[in-house]
Structure 1
Amino acid sequence: MFRWLPLVAAVFCCQAEAVSLPVAAVAASRSQPAADASGEPSLEEKKAAYAALANILQNDQSRTELINQLRSASESTAKTEDPVLTPPDEEEDKTVLESVTDVSRQFGSEVLGKVEKLHRNIVNAPHKTFNPKTFYNALSHFAMLAIALFAFYWLLCRAATPLYRRMGSWGRRKNSERTSWLHLPAMILGAFIIDLLLLGIALFVGQMLSDTLNAGSRTIARQQGLFLSAFALIEFFKAILRLIFCPRYPQLRFFHLSDERANYWNTRLSWLSSVIGYGLLVIVPIVSNQVNVQAAALVNLVLMCLITGWALYLIFRNRRPVQLALVQLADRSMSFFSLFIRAFAVIWHWLASAYFIALFLLSIFNPGDSLRFMMSATVRSLAIIGLGALISGVLSRWISKTIILSPELRRNYPELQKRVNGWVSMMLKLARTLTVFAVCLLLLNAWNLFDLWHWLTVGAGVKLVDVIIRIVMILFFSAVGWTLLASLIESRLASDSHGRPMPSARTRTLLTLFRNALAVVISTITIMILLSEIGVNIAPLLAGAGALGLAVSFGSQTLVKDIITGIFIQFENGMNTGDLVTIGAITGTVERMSIRSVGVRQDTGAYHIIPWSSITTFANFVRGIGSFVANYDVDRSEDSDKVNAALHEAVDELMQDETIRGMVIGEPNFAGLVGLTNQAFTVRVSFTTQPLKQWTVRFALDNRVKKHFDAAGIKAPHPTVQVMQNGSGLDAAAAVPALPAPE
């Protein structure tokens, strides 16, 4: 296979058959000596051919053109003629300034070309002789058709007035009852559809009138056809204005506008559309046909100058009132729409001015198609914005709602409902953002500022859509995986509806640590995959993370030691949250356990954070049992049997208490007399109790022992004081009796 590569590359490098090689590669391939007589390329030719072919395959455009040319050559039917491969044009890299200059030069040349074309058409247009008789005859038939059509359409609209009022009243009543928010929009849309049906009936009648009132003249019929086309376009735009402002039927008005403001804008915009539409689509073509092109161009220019000036006057005169009305609308709207409405309120007058200026320029250079393009782009823009607002509104309402799971699921999986609602809300917000992005692209496409279809099928849109789909799928599966695993862990942490007891403190601690570690792992993996999907090379990130981890491990040996010690203590079940422990000189309750430290709260309220690595030994008071040994000292002169009997009576009374008996494990252990001094002797009893109950039992025992000792007259030992006389020896000291200490 590889032996054919030099030959293929050599064919590409020939002067008449080269294919998009870089200039250096082509020069190098042409400067090599010719092949020998046997036809085998030399080593230098092979190297040059390999380099040239590599350069071709490295460039996306040249590789695509090479594949297309090779397929065309393979499908060629000529037998005597060799297929010829032509090199595509080379694209040189340009700076931003050069690109801007080229775009400006191209735009300026296009505008200059349009001006020259307009001047040439006006100057070179044939001059016709004005025939008043023909003109007035056509004007009379045209006026009869216009008057009849307007009268018929006015009667149709008047006849539908009761229907519009009933639809508006019914929609408002249903909307006030708040049974459903769809009734009023359905009535508004229904009224718009009825408007279009009436327009269609009027056009049908108008066509029949045109067939009757054209006096058998093709010229009059064509002029009447222009009027009918303009009538359809203008009345359709007026129907959209009535849909927005609805001046005669406030019940069908979707926006909160006063009747005065609605009449004001509907009247002026209707007049603007009528003058522009009938002027550009009817008057200018008729003047061009009946008089001459020069007069039509002058009429067009004067008409559009007047219309543009009037439109700009209306825009800037009402700039503040419209801005205030939009701000009030934003205050009544949802937060998502409020942001866009406030932004539109700031720049609406500039957008409207640009709209009419663009219409003026287009009507000058292309009077035939300018209005149709502007009307088509306007209607499509309104439809796109309306559909996008509807979808965004539905998504916003869904976001505000909450998914309610069954009581059994909420009991078994406490955090599942909150987590599911969080993920659903995030996905709906992402869908709403994509909707706004799609609306922006469709608006640009509607005004021919962006070729959406080419971008989605051939351009960068294919890759972008593919990346978005991949990202959404990755986020979806990550969310599902995390939700399932976290819910299972939380289900294990909670008590079961079937009577399963609560897990131990050790189990809760380990599951909590595992859940946190799982969240970190899933988040890290998801972020890495997303970065890889959007084209970020994660190999340097992984290498840098490894090097950073190594550096951190050397610089934070104590931290690593804390983590390792904490893990082993947890697996050995050394302590858990809620345990009473003694760590060094600190005794308190464990309130928090992390992977690095333990938090202990003393009975004084002091909170201590103790790193795991600093713990060498600790005592846990809740492991299995609790116990205590009670020693009671009595005077040496007391009878030991009497003392033991009193102690037994106190213990028996204690054990008869059901609350205390439930805390004691087994039977008390009496040791009897365990200590003897010159002044006292000691009796002992020991108890085994439930964990952390030894102090409760000890306090209750001390209370009963005191009561029984006092009843039996058993005295506590009294300390004695020995007096030593000066100058006396041991004999004198021994002769003086010891005096009791003052009570």
Structure 2
Amino acid sequence: MNYFEKVLTSATAKLLNQDLWVHIGETILKIIIVLVVAQIFIKIAKAAIRNIFRVRSKSPLRISERRENTLHKLLENIVTYVVYFVALITILSLLTIDVKGLLAGAGIVGLAVGFGAQSLVRDIISGFFIIFEDQFSVGDYVGIGKYVGTVEEIGLRITKIKSWTGELHILPNGRITEVTNYSIHNSIAVVDINIPYDGNIEKAEKVIEDLLPIMSNKYEEIVNPPELLGVQQLGTSDIMLRVIAETEPMRHWYIARMLRKEIKMALDNNGIKAPFPKLVMYSRNEDADHYNHRVHRGE
């Protein structure tokens, strides 16, 4: 029997070895069980997180809803990553792979990569402080640089902002240096009303002042009754009156549109019309002819 025949015979014997196939089957079954247990654990953990936040929503010690949404998604992602990592380590152990040596090598490689990926490290650190300091949360309407929109997602590395026209902007957290958050405090709706010079200003102010208290009861988004500040500007053909109203965060645009409509209808019902531009024609030739005529008469 030559060498190749011996190798073939040995390989055939191993393939026909019942204990080997039993071991392979047990290993595959254990891997399946690990994956199933990981999925079940993730679902249980996510349900527990949802219940915790649901209980906190009824507690006097609850945090703001906007921050709850952010922490909720972040905790679910962390649980998923941790469980999958533990499952991967367990599967490698079942495959008789030296996990300790692999982790040690991964640590050295990670250290080397860290020096070359400083921007990635900066993004993660910045993301941590954004969440820790509650600079903004999921659902907030913010302005970051030239981008303005609603925060769709906050991660440790990137932040997603969706503009009102539908564009989704993905920003690395390390590049977020200045943030304007429009969703924390109440907003102010500013409405300017133009009245013609020949109109009755006192009557217009009286109509508006009688209307404004009703608006608080009609629109629940108004926090405090609207206020008529008075004459804001003297234009070329009209007088501008200004009305302001404190509203819930990000509801000032809607309330401003409603106030314009209500004030316009009230003014029309009281006979106060909107101003219109006036055009005056001036002819220099006619003025010159009149001057010459007066000189000719000796005036």
Q: Please give the TM-score of this superposition, normalised by the length of structure 2.
A: 0.72
Does structure 1 conserve the Cα–Cα contact (< 8 Å) formed by 2:213 and 2:226?
no
What corresponds to 2:210 in structure 1? 649
Does structure 1 conserve the Cα–Cα contact (< 8 Å) formed by 2:199 and 2:272?
no
Q: Match of 1:535, SS?
A: coil
Instruction: Say if 2:243 is the partner of 1:685.
Output: yes
Q: In structure 1, how many angstroms separate the alpha carbons of the residues matched to 2:278 and 2:129?
A: 52
Q: In structure 2, how many angstroms separate the alpha carbons of the residues matched to 1:603 and 1:101?
A: 69
Alpha carbons of structure 1 residues 722 and 560: separation in structure 2 relative to 1, 3 Å: farther
Choose the corresponding residue for 2:47, options 487, 512, 526.
487
Equivalent residue runs for 1:206-285 within 5 Å: none
What corresponds to 2:252 in structure 1? 694
What corresponds to 2:275 in structure 1? 716
Does structure 2 conserve the Cα–Cα contact (< 8 Å) formed by 1:601 and 1:608?
yes
Equivalent residue runs for 1:667-686 within 5 Å: 667-677=225-235, 679-686=237-244
One-letter identity of the residue aligned with 2:120: L
TM-superposed deviation, 1:687? 0.7
Instruction: Say if 2:143 is the partner of 1:585.
Output: no
Give the number of equivalent residue pairs.
277
Which runs of 5 or more structure 1 residues have no equivalent in the other structure?
Answer: 1-94, 104-443, 733-743
Q: Match of 2:124, SS?
A: helix
User: What's the % identity of the aligned pairs?
Assistant: 26
Does structure 2 conserve the Cα–Cα contact (< 8 Å) formed by 1:636 and 1:678?
no
Alpha carbons of structure 1 residues 724 and 491: separation in structure 2 relative to 1, 3 Å: farther
What corresponds to 1:506 in structure 2? 67
Alpha carbons of structure 1 residues 481 and 579: separation in structure 2 relative to 1, 3 Å: same
Q: In structure 1, how many angstroms separate the alpha carbons of the residues matched to 2:83 and 2:64?
A: 25
Q: Deviation digits for residues 214-254 of structure 1, max 9, x if unmatched?
A: xxxxxxxxxxxxxxxxxxxxxxxxxxxxxxxxxxxxxxxxx
One-letter identity of the residue aligned with 1:712: G
CA RMSD of aligned residues (A): 4.3
Q: In structure 1, how many angstroms separate the alpha carbons of the residues matched to 2:265 and 2:176?
A: 44
TM-superposed deviation, 1:706? 1.4
TM-superposed deviation, 1:571? 2.5
Q: Match of 1:567, SS?
A: helix
Does structure 2 conserve the Cα–Cα contact (< 8 Å) formed by 1:633 and 1:717?
no
What corresponds to 1:298 in structure 2? none
Alpha carbons of structure 1 residues 477 and 609: separation in structure 2 relative to 1, 3 Å: closer
Instruction: Say if 2:201 is the partner of 1:625.
Output: no
Instruction: Say if 2:126 is the partner of 1:568.
Output: no
What corresponds to 1:344 in structure 2? none
Q: Match of 2:96, SS?
A: coil
One-letter identity of the residue aligned with 2:143: T
Does structure 1 conserve the Cα–Cα contact (< 8 Å) formed by 2:123 and 2:172?
yes
Q: In structure 2, how many angstroms separate the alpha carbons of the residues matched to 1:722 and 1:567?
A: 67
Q: Match of 1:591, SS?
A: strand
TM-superposed deviation, 1:478? 5.4
Q: Match of 2:137, SS?
A: coil
Q: In structure 2, how many angstroms separate the alpha carbons of the residues matched to 1:632 and 1:473?
A: 71
One-letter identity of the residue aligned with 1:514: L
TM-superposed deviation, 1:715? 4.4
Does structure 2 conserve the Cα–Cα contact (< 8 Å) formed by 1:492 and 1:503?
no
Does structure 2 conserve the Cα–Cα contact (< 8 Å) formed by 1:650 and 1:701?
no
Q: In structure 1, how many angstroms separate the alpha carbons of the residues matched to 2:165 and 2:38?
A: 46
Q: Match of 1:560, SS?
A: helix
Alpha carbons of structure 1 residues 585 and 474: separation in structure 2 relative to 1, 3 Å: same
**Higher normalized strand content (fraction of residues):** 2
Q: Deviation digits for residues 477-522 of structure 1, max 9, x if unmatched?
A: 75665454333123345x56x9789982322222222222222223
Equivalent residue runs for 1:416-565 within 5 Å: 475=34, 481-492=41-52, 495=54, 504-565=65-126
Q: In structure 1, how many angstroms separate the alpha carbons of the residues matched to 2:31 and 2:169?
A: 45
Q: Match of 2:156, SS?
A: coil
What corresponds to 1:66 in structure 2? none
Q: Please give the TM-score of this superposition, normalised by the length of structure 1.
A: 0.32
Alpha carbons of structure 1 residues 102 and 636: separation in structure 2 relative to 1, 3 Å: closer
Q: Deviation digits for residues 593-626 of structure 1, max 9, x if unmatched?
A: 3333233333333332233233333333322422
Does structure 1 conserve the Cα–Cα contact (< 8 Å) formed by 2:31 and 2:91?
no
Q: In structure 1, how many angstroms separate the alpha carbons of the residues matched to 2:243 and 2:21?
A: 87
TM-superposed deviation, 1:640? 3.3
Determine which structure has greater relative contact order: mean sequence separation of CA pairs < 8 Å that are 6+ residues apart, divided by chain length: 2
**Higher normalized helix content (fraction of residues):** 1
Q: Deviation digits for residues 62-118 of structure 1, max 9, x if unmatched?
A: xxxxxxxxxxxxxxxxxxxxxxxxxxxxxxxxx964845998xxxxxxxxxxxxxxx
